[in-house]
Amino acid sequence: MEIEGEDCEVLEQPDFKDHTVIGTRELILVDEKGSKIQATINKHLFDNYKNLVKEGATRIISNFLVKKTGGQHRATSHDYKIVFIYKTNVKECDNVQLPLYGFDFVPFDKMLKKEVNDVFLVDVIGECTAMSDKIDTSTNGTPNYKVMFELEDLKKYTISGTVWGKYAEQMTEYKKKGIQGRPIIILQFVKIKRWRDQVSLCNSLFATKIFINEDISEVNDYKESITDGDDSRSMGITHLSSQNSHSIEDEFMKLADGKQLDEIPDTNKECFCATVATIVGFEKDTNWYYNSCKSCNKKVDYEGGGRYWCIKCDSHVKSAPPRYKVTVSVEDDNGSASFVMFDREVFQAIQISAMDLKDKLLRVYNY
C-alpha cells in the first residue's frame, strides 16, 4: 500500500513507563482532499526516519501496517491509523502542493448545541474578545499556568476556553506585545469540554497548536470576512479577570445566597442571589435586544449612515451586533419582581443568538 500526504503535525508522546523519554512520534497526515489520518513511529525506528519526517513536508509512504484506532480525544475521525515498520519506505515528493495545515473548522453553534462528537479533537477559528492574565496553578513545587479566553465567530456565537502550560505561555507572550485590536486565533486539535450544560474548549496535552494573528490564508480570509469598516476591531481585547470568570453553574449554585423575592429589596450589599421563581410575563414596552459594541459589549448610539458611537470606548463603530436584554416578570410564593436577562443567560435558555433570531424575524415577519 502506498499513500501520498503531507505531515501537518509531528507530535512526541512520552514513554508510558518513563515520561522523561519519548515513546512514539505521532504524525497527522493530510492528503490532497484534506482528509487526515494518524501515523505512529515507535522509538526503535526514530533514527530510520528522523531526516524524512518533518512538519510541512510532502512524502510518499509505502509498506506500513494499518490498525484500528480508538480512544478519547483523537486527532482525526479516521477509523484506522498507520504504523511504521522496518520495511516502511518514505520518499520525498516536494513537487506536489497539498494543504499545509489541513484545518477543518467546526462552527461554534454546533459545539454549543452539542452537535459535535467530543471524542475527536477539533479545529476552531474566531476573534479573541477577552483574555485573562497568566494564572499560577502550581502545586507541590511543580510549575503550571493557565490562561482563560473567549472567542467570537462570524455569526456572533461566543465560546470560552482555557489553555495550560506552554499554550498559556504562548497566549501570554502575545498579550505582552500590547498589539492593538482583537486578534484572530486558530486553535487546532483542541478538546471540547462539557460540564452539565456548559461547553468550552481546552488544549490537549501534546497535539494542540495555536495560531495568533498568523500571516496565513485562513487568518487573512477570516479578517476579510469581518464586516468591512468595523472600527471595533481596532479596540483591545477585554481583560478577563480570574476572580469573576465563573461558569453559570458556579455563579448560581456555589456563589449565590438563596433568597425569596420579598427578601431581595432588603439586601444592602452587592452579592450573588439565587431564587426559585416562575416567569409569568415579558416586558413588551422595551426592545428585547440592544445594538452593542463588539469591543466592550455595551450599548451604542446610532448616528445615521450606518455608523454608531460607543460612549465607553469613545469611538465610532460601523458594525453593532444585537445582544439580548430581556425584561421578565417573575413570581414566587412570597412576591413578584422584574428581572433583566442579558445575552449569555438568554442564549443559554433558547440556544439561538440575538443576531440569528433577529434575522429570522426579518425573513418571516419583516420585523
On whether residue 61 sits in a domain, the answer given is yes
Predicted pLDDT at 6: 54
On whether residue 212 sits in a domain, the answer given is yes
Instruction: Please name the residue ranges forming H helices in the chain.
Output: 46-49, 108-112, 166-176, 217-225, 248-249, 343-350, 354-365
The number of CA neighbours under 13 Å toward the Cβ of 359 is 8
**pLDDT tens, position by position, 8-24:** 567 677 665 666 778 88
On whether residue 288 sits in a domain, the answer given is yes
357 in the same domain as 294: yes
> What does the alpha-carbon distance between residue 187 and residue 148 come to, in Å, rounded to a whole number?
13
Domain boundary among 30, 65, 92: 92
348 in the same domain as 299: yes
Residue 315, domain CATH: 2.40.50.140
308 in the same domain as 210: no
CB atoms within 10 A of CB 189: 22
133 in the same domain as 231: yes
**pLDDT tens, position by position, 86-98:** 999 998 887 777 7
118 in the same domain as 82: no
77 in the same domain as 112: no
The cell 516536494 sits on which residue? 94
222 in the same domain as 126: yes
- Interacting residues of 232 by C-beta distance below 8 A, sequence separation 6+: 182, 293, 294, 295, 310, 313, 315, 317, 319
Domain boundary among 60, 92, 124: 92
C-alpha cell, 190? 483542541
Predicted pLDDT at 101: 83
Predicted pLDDT at 3: 60
- Interacting residues of 255 by C-beta distance below 8 A, sequence separation 6+: 246, 272
- The residue range of the domain holding 218 is 108-239
361 in the same domain as 304: yes
Q: Report the number of distinct structural domains present in the chain.
A: 3
**pLDDT tens, position by position, 340-349:** 999 888 887 8
On whether residue 16 sits in a domain, the answer given is yes
Mean pLDDT of 23-46: 88
Q: How far is CA 7 from the centre of its chain?
A: 24
194 in the same domain as 155: yes
Q: What is the dihedral of CA 193, 107, 293, 339, to 10 degrees?
A: -60
On whether residue 269 sits in a domain, the answer given is no
CB atoms within 10 A of CB 302: 11
CB atoms within 10 A of CB 79: 9
Please, which pLDDT band fits residue 251 given cuts at 50, 70 and 90? very low
Lowest mean pLDDT among 71-75, 127-131, 153-157, 328-332: 71-75
83 in the same domain as 116: no
- The pTM assigned to this predicted structure is 0.62
Buried b (16+ CB within 10 A) or exposed e, 243-253: eebeeeeeeee
162 in the same domain as 234: yes
Q: What values do phi and psi take at 219, rounded to 5? A: -70, -45
351 in the same domain as 307: yes
* Higher local confidence (pLDDT), 1 or 61: 61
SS3 87: coil
Domain boundary among 239, 257, 291: 239
The cell 460612549 sits on which residue? 311
The cell 469540554 sits on which residue? 193
Predicted pLDDT at 265: 81
On whether residue 261 sits in a domain, the answer given is no
Please say if the pLDDT value at position 199 is more than 60: yes
**pLDDT tens, position by position, 113-168:** 889 988 899 999 999 999 999 988 877 667 788 999 999 999 989 999 999 999 99
On whether residue 255 sits in a domain, the answer given is no
* Higher local confidence (pLDDT), 259 or 88: 88
> What does the alpha-carbon distance between residue 68 and residue 214 come to, in Å, rounded to a whole number?
35
129, 151 in Cβ contact below 8 A?
A: yes
On whether residue 323 sits in a domain, the answer given is yes
